[in-house]
Amino acid sequence: MGARLTAWAAKWLRVVDAGKQERLGGPGAVQAVEEAHAHLSHVHQETGDRLVRRPPPRRTHSLPEYFYDRGEQVESYHSESGDFANCNSRPELAQMLTEVGTVRFNMNRLAKSNYDDHKADDNEVPHHDLCLMYELNASAKAASFPSPYPLLPLLVDRGEYFLHDYYMQQKEREQQYSYQNAKCVHKRDRDRDRDRDRETERETEREGGSLGSSG
């Protein structure tokens, strides 16, 4: 591809427009060719990384299928992630749907990879909703029954936050208060605590008076 781009530039950038008596290879065209050369490493190439996919067990034809083991395949996730949650969804709902969709996407990719590497006999995921499998294990344990899914990995809370939760924490961390606002907040809290203490004292006095009158 780089050789073709160089040959194209050598052929056309030196051509002179007969009407305007100007070379086609102006400063803008030369800069565009240089930028194209710089971006060649990011362009998907069909040579060297095209791999033959293992035929699926339920396929009805014998045509070969190929896939490309390149980093830009991450863009396939970006093209699907926009469908996980609808626009204008509630932040918590959008986060939940995006997390579920991401888990399913990764599980599908892992199942196909294990099948192509002959680590599994099927290229489909038997069960996407892992949370339901953990719930069934917990219910079976509470009823003193053996776990229906004993090979599930142990769930560990790593303290990570994503999407909306992380955004709210970052918003709280980056929030700034002016000195004047800080004084106002402190005075408001101090007045509120003083009023609460006074009300507590009045209630105590009333309770003491009622006990004295009843005695």
| 65 contact partners, CB below 8 Å, separation of at least 6 | 52, 53, 55
Is there a domain that residue 180 lies in?
Answer: no
Is there a domain that residue 130 lies in?
Answer: no
* Better-scored residue on pLDDT, 123 or 1: 123
User: Which whole number is the average pLDDT over 131-142?
Assistant: 90
Take residue 122 and report the two structure tokens written for it.
Answer: 């099927």
Residue 144: predicted pLDDT: 94
Is there a domain that residue 50 lies in?
Answer: no
Could you give the number of structural domains in the chain?
1
Report pLDDT digits (tens) over 75-133.
677 777 777 888 788 888 888 888 888 888 888 888 888 888 888 888 888 888 878 88
Cross-strand bridge partners of residue 18: none
Residue owning tokens 């830009």: 72
Domain membership of residue 17 as a residue range? 1-39
Residue owning tokens 């004295």: 212
Residue 143: predicted pLDDT: 94
DSSP readout, 1-46? -HHHHHHHHHHHTTPEETTTTEES--HHHHHHHHHHHHTGGGS--S
Is there a domain that residue 83 lies in?
Answer: no
pLDDT tops 60 at residue 72: no
Q: Cβ(84)–Cβ(97) under 8 Å?
A: yes
Residue 70: predicted pLDDT: 60
Is there a domain that residue 70 lies in?
Answer: no
The runs of H, that is alpha helices, within the chain are 2-12, 27-38, 75-81, 91-116, 130-142, 163-173, 179-214
Is there a domain that residue 32 lies in?
Answer: yes
Report pLDDT digits (tens) over 157-214.
777 777 788 888 888 888 776 655 555 666 677 778 788 888 888 877 776 665 555 5
Closest CA to 29 of 46, 10, 42, 48: 10
- Distance CA(149)–CA(39), nearest Å, equals 48
Q: How far is CA 45 from CA 72, 82, 158, in A?
A: 11, 26, 38
Residue 186: predicted pLDDT: 64
- Distance CA(87)–CA(83), nearest Å, equals 9
Is there a domain that residue 9 lies in?
Answer: yes
User: Which whole number is the average pLDDT over 145-166?
Assistant: 83
Residue 213: predicted pLDDT: 53
Closest CA to 112 of 49, 54, 50: 54
Residue 46: predicted pLDDT: 53
Is there a domain that residue 154 lies in?
Answer: no
